[in-house]
Amino acid sequence: MSAHAEAHAVDHHDDHGHHHKETFITKYIFSQDHKMISKQYLITGLFMGIIGIAMSILFRMQLAWPEEPFTIFEVLLGKWAEGGVMDPSVYLALVTIHGTIMVFFVLTAGLSGTFSNLLIPLQIGARDMASGFLNMISYWLFFLSSIIMVFSLFVEAGPASAGWTVYPPLSALPQAIPGSGTGMTLWLVSMAIFIASSLLGSLNYIVTVLNLRTKGMSMTRLPLTIWAFFVTAIIGVVSFPVLLSAALMLIMDRSFGTSFFLSDIYIAGEVLHNQGGSPVLFEHLFWFLGHPEVYIVILPAMGLVSEIMATNSRKPIFGYRAMVASILAIAFLSTIVWGHHMFISGMNPFLGSVFTFTTLLIAIPSAVKAFNWITTLWKGNLQLNPAMLFSIGFVSTFITGGLTGIILGDSALDINVHDTYFVVAHFHLVMGISALYGLFAGVYHWFPKMFQSRMMNKNLGFVHFWVTAVGAYGVFYPMHFIGMAGLPRRYYNNTNFPYFDDLADVNVVITIFAIITAAAQLVFLYNFIHSMFYGKKGPQNPWKSNTLEWTAPIKHIHGNWDGPIPHVYRWSYDYSKLNKDESDYVIPGQDYVPQHIPLQENEEELNH
């Protein structure tokens, strides 16, 4: 393996000297350089994020002040908010597209796409992805699917509005809801393209990690970021095709008269011909992706957080092998727990028992990870940079959100809170907010790597973190209460139930926190854009990190390293390692030993 990698390195070294003439188009648009592609992913993801978060503010306003006219509704929603009062159909469209955009476009492509692309080649010591061309195609398919999704907002009957899970028959029948017309068709087309993009990306990541590691970079020396991206890509390859099959069958049911998911339906005054299909089948297929999907979202965040936390604690990550093992365990279990979304779907209750069992098992590796992160902080010398704050915030929300998973994963308890706001609070904390924290942590940490050593403003970063951290709990902690009160999600308003009148003020509190939190993201956006052009230039290795990307020259070159690719002699977590006689650090006066530094004379060799 390593011989092969070396041959490859030498091979590349020979030809890296001649630089292709790059035009604006090959450099910024149809780029095959993983560093540029990662920036493309990030910026597209952030753009979609702005849309997704803005939508959530709109429907939160409707929930807090039901049917209150707001000029902004009329401005943004046009005919769906005549006189400024939001229409029920657009409310459903907003929650549907908010979910779709945040889960797929922001947290899958924006998070995993950005950092897998940026870090895999740089941290394993490769000149680029295994296939730069496929990588480029992957991004452009993602871009195309984003365009189609955004375009679907403007069709006459409105975008898809059957919820982001698009359960048929609602999503299959335009008679049932207007959004299931052209809007839904575009949703399906967009998702099909998105899946193709994701698969191309994932295959590339897997091949790159397996084949292009530099000499000395054994699997057990990989930074946890790479482990996380690698395993995420595998889950993606295993589960995304199943969603594609579900999408294809849904397309056929909608357009070609098949009955995969439809049976015995009487709607709009007539009986449909469909017979024998089952919506439960769709639920199985959807969640076979849908559940691994939340780990596709959270694992990269976990990887980023592990790396950032070790670096800024100036300590090795605690229990590296256990961390890798729990990533693998989570990945494996993630593919056999999908049924916990379906306890009350009408499937056999025995299956419910099985899925309860597997689901609660997943708490074990998750708990191990949380304990290991906490222990990594213990007796560290914590550099509380914005990236580190977001990493600590990640562990906090992951714990809070994860713990309520123990309740929801228990089929007996799920009965009464299924599809209530308790679920909404749970998954927003554990995968939404946590993964966003991972994304922010990654952006603050690797911003200098992406933008020629420019650094983001730390004080704006502090403001961003603290307002977001307080706001996120302010939104989602009270939300558990309205869920436990029995309030169903996806209700346009609750005024038809006097029983829920006492929840009105909780909803106002939640919305106010949501608006504040969203406003804090503007601070981030300003900081991001401003620093891109005017950020102060920091040192080459600003966080004194061990990983290989910081040995690459500041100026981006195609091929990553000017000279030969550095070889690796140790794992990436030799922070604050002492020499044999414990008189000083291994390298005197420097509390870190980068991966490309050979074993020192006075150093004890450990397992890595």
Partner 1 sequence: MQMGKIFKMSRQQSNTSEIVNDKDNNTQGWLMLAFVLFIYVLCIYSFYEWGDVLLPRSASEHGVGIDQLWLISMIIIFVVGIITQWLLHYFAFKYRGRQTQKAVFYADNDKLEFIWTIIPVIVLAGLIIYGLFTWTDIMNIDTEDDPLVVELYAYQFDWRARYGGEDNTLGEANVRLIEGVNQLGVDASDPYAQDDVIVNELHLPKGRKVIFKMRSQDVLHSAYMPHFRAQMNCVPGMITQFSFTPTVTTEEMRQAEEMKDKVQKINKIRTENNIALAAAGEEQLEMYEFDYLLLCNKICGNSHYNMQMKIIVEEEEEFNAWMKEQQTLAAVLKQ
Chain residues 231-260 in contact with partner 1, contact rule CB under 8 A: none
Burial-class residue 299 by CB neighbours within 10 Å (0-12, 13-18, 19+).
Answer: buried
Residue 357 touches partner 1, criterion: CB under 8 A: yes
Residue 470 touches partner 1, criterion: CB under 8 A: yes
The three-state secondary structure class of 97 is: helix
Residue 395 touches partner 1, criterion: CB under 8 A: yes
Enter the tokens of residue 35: 């560093």
Nearest to 342 by CA among 353, 352, 357, 354: 352
How many angstroms separate the Cα of 12 from the Cα of each of 208, 210, 350? 15, 18, 57
Residue 455 touches partner 1, criterion: CB under 8 A: yes
User: Among 97, 203, 265, 430, which residue sits at the site for partner 1 (rule: CB under 8 A)?
Assistant: 265
User: Among 11, 67, 82, 502, which residue sits at the site for partner 1 (rule: CB under 8 A)?
Assistant: 502
Q: Which of these segments, 115-123, 240-248, 464-472, 556-564, binds partner 1 (CB under 8 A)? A: 464-472
Residue 321 touches partner 1, criterion: CB under 8 A: yes
Per CB under 8 A, contacts with partner 1 among 537-596 are: 537-539, 542-543, 573, 575-578, 591
Q: Which of these segments, 123-131, 167-175, 297-305, 517-525, binds partner 1 (CB under 8 A)? A: 167-175
Residue 222 touches partner 1, criterion: CB under 8 A: no
Residue 11 touches partner 1, criterion: CB under 8 A: no
Per CB under 8 A, contacts with partner 1 among 92-131 are: 92
CB of 121 to partner 1, least distance (A): 25
- Residue 528 near residue 443, CB atoms below 8 Å: yes
CB of 279 to partner 1, least distance (A): 6
CB of 381 to partner 1, least distance (A): 4
Q: Which of these segments, 124-132, 139-147, 238-246, 338-346, binds partner 1 (CB under 8 A)? A: 338-346
Tokens 């990698």 label which residue?
5
Q: Which of these segments, 123-131, 134-142, 204-212, 475-483, binds partner 1 (CB under 8 A)? A: 475-483
Residue 276 touches partner 1, criterion: CB under 8 A: yes
User: Among 330, 482, 514, 518, which residue sits at the site for partner 1 (rule: CB under 8 A)?
Assistant: 482
- Residue 498 near residue 537, CB atoms below 8 Å: no
- Residue 340 near residue 409, CB atoms below 8 Å: yes
CB of 44 to partner 1, least distance (A): 26
Per CB under 8 A, contacts with partner 1 among 405-434 are: 406-407, 410-413, 415-416, 418-420
Q: Any idea how long the chain is?
A: 608
Residue 84 touches partner 1, criterion: CB under 8 A: no
Residue 382 touches partner 1, criterion: CB under 8 A: yes
**Both ends of the chain: CA-CA distance in Å?**
17
d(CA 159, CA 180): 8
CB of 422 to partner 1, least distance (A): 11
- Residue 81 near residue 148, CB atoms below 8 Å: no
Per CB under 8 A, contacts with partner 1 among 42-61 are: none
User: Among 488, 516, 557, 564, which residue sits at the site for partner 1 (rule: CB under 8 A)?
Assistant: 488
What letters, b where the CB count within 10 A reaches 16 and e where it falls short, cover 83-117?
eebbbebbbbbbbbbbbbbbbbbbbbbbbbbbbbb
Sequential DSSP letters for 209-252:
HHH-PPTT--GGGS-HHHHHHHHHHHHHHHHHHHHHHHHHHHHH
Residue 469 touches partner 1, criterion: CB under 8 A: yes
Residue 605: φ, ψ to 5°: -85, 125
Residue 375: φ, ψ to 5°: -70, -30
Return the DSSP state at 266: E
Residue 496 touches partner 1, criterion: CB under 8 A: yes
Residue 83 touches partner 1, criterion: CB under 8 A: no
Pairing of strands 270-271, 266-267: antiparallel
Q: Which of these segments, 11-19, 49-57, 127-135, 403-411, binds partner 1 (CB under 8 A)? A: 403-411
Residue 311 touches partner 1, criterion: CB under 8 A: no
Q: Which is nearer to partner 1, 154 or 497 (CB)?
A: 497
CB of 415 to partner 1, least distance (A): 5
CB of 602 to partner 1, least distance (A): 14
Q: Which is nearer to partner 1, 250 or 370 (CB)?
A: 370
Return the DSSP state at 271: E
Enter the tokens of residue 73: 């509704």
Burial-class residue 19 by CB neighbours within 10 Å (0-12, 13-18, 19+).
Answer: exposed
Nearest to 159 by CA among 103, 75, 97, 106: 97
# binding residues, partner 1 (CB under 8 A):
129
